[in-house]
Amino acid sequence: MKIGFIGLGNMGGPMAANLAAAGHEVTGFDVAGTGAEGVRVAQSAEDAARAAEVVITMLPNGEILREVAATIHPVMKAGAVHLDCSTVDVASARHVAEAATAAGLRALDAPVSGGVGGATGGTLTFMVGGDASAFETATPLFEIMGQKAVHCGAAGNGQAAKICNNMILGATMIATCEAFALADKLGLERQAMFDVVSTASGYSWSMNAYCPAPGIGPKSPADNGYQPGFAADLMLKDLRLSQQAAEEVDADTPMGRAALELYSQFVEQEDGAGRDFSAMLPRFEKRGRS
């Protein structure tokens, strides 16, 4: 398959390399001039998109996605698929899908979960919204880049699934870190805390698979000085997207709003920038009840 790939950063680069390694003809472009193994470097986004059967975008935000879409849609061949793997606001995803349809193209919004490790290892999970026939076309590519792809329905629903998932993740990580800090002050050993909660009604992905306490549970960023697996900065971005969406549809999300406020304080006013989102634990360790 001829594939254009726009956005060859920490996530897009390994994803494009995996597609090339699987035998696809991949042409990539990144404004920073970066490349990826096995990927032909294009001189522009239009060059990467022209003649491709599928054009994949992995971009920082909705505004840039809209700009790139307006640039590439006119040069893409009729019936081609614009597969956007960025994490952006739902409104931008739906705008781009409408623009693609108007240009005689098919569109999918397919944000990912799994981080850089998942992108490199080809174990990402894709949450996909958009045209069913486009999903069928892209399925072989999902199988190379990831371990699971779920078609969530109409355009924008992939982004909706991503931000709802990460709103849960942000809130549960905060609760997990609060509980460990409380357990410490109550004299409860962390290993005992983990052994109980991980097999009781308080279990969660944040506790069982990504424990924020160093030396407890499976290896996680906590065991590497909280170097990011999933950066607090990115959690803040996703929580902002969740609350933007909630405001647009008049949804009451007090826990999501509280998580946003805490991560905003952690990243922008404290020492959370550049650290893993589970570094909330040392934050709570140092704090008393206000």
Rounded distance between C-alpha atoms, residue 226 and residue 223, angstroms:
7
Phi, psi of 129, rounded to the nearest 5 degrees: -120, 150
Delimit the CATH 3.40.50.720 region(s) of the chain.
2-155
User: Which residue of the set 2, 77, 162, 185 is catalytic?
Assistant: 162
Angle between helices 132-145 and 12-21 (to 10 degrees): 90
Could you tell me the end-to-end alpha-carbon distance of the chain, in angstroms, rounded to an integer?
58
| Residue carrying the six token digits 């108007």 | 102
Average pLDDT over all residues of the chain: 97
The CATH 1.10.1040.10 portion of the chain extends over 160-286
pLDDT score recorded for residue 115? 86
Q: At residue 116, does pLDDT exceed 90?
A: no
* CATH fold for the domain made of 2-155: Rossmann fold (3.40.50)
How many other CB atoms are found less than 10 A from the CB of residue 120? Answer: 17
Closest CA to 171 of 97, 98, 124, 235: 235
d(CA 10, CA 32): 12
Q: Under CATH, domain 160-286 is a member of which superfamily?
A: N-(1-d-carboxylethyl)-l-norvaline Dehydrogenase; domain 2 (1.10.1040.10)
Give me the mean pLDDT over the 39-61 stretch: 97
Q: How far apart are CA 72 and CA 68, in angstroms?
A: 6
All residues at 6 or more sequence positions from 142 whose CB lies less than 8 Å from its CB, including other chains? 110, 126, 128, 149
pTM: 0.92
Task: Using the predicted structure, report yes or no on whether residue 290 has a pLDDT greater than 80.
Answer: no
Per-residue pLDDT, 124: 97
Whether 162 sits among the annotated catalytic residues: the reply is yes
What distance in Å separates the CA atoms of residue 124 and residue 144, rounded to the nearest whole number? 9
